[in-house]
Amino acid sequence: MSATTTTRPAAEGHADAAPARRKSYKLLTGPDTPAFCQKVSDHLDDGYVLHGPPVITVVGGELHCAQAVLLPEDQR
């Protein structure tokens, strides 16, 4: 018995639609938690690179972070 694979269309309901263009710049923000670190790591794994240092501030007694990421020109 052989396994079969199916592919999903680029846009649901539009098999010939072009894939969505990824943003070349993103500013990731959130509370300083493992989930925020994972969000940054996921973007790095997806080809983004860090742009500048992280920014950390206190909001309501809780640390919040911001990190800019860029998608290199050859991956857009």
On the question of pLDDT at 13 being above 70, the answer is no
Q: How far apart are the first and last CA of the chain?
A: 39
Give the whole-angstrom CA distance, residue 6 versus residue 22.
23
- Mean residue pLDDT of the chain comes to 85
Predicted TM-score of the model (pTM): 0.71
Q: What is the mean pLDDT of residues 13-33?
A: 85
Residue in the block written with tokens 């959130």: 30
More confidently predicted of 75 and 14:
75
Give the whole-angstrom CA distance, residue 57 versus residue 72.
28
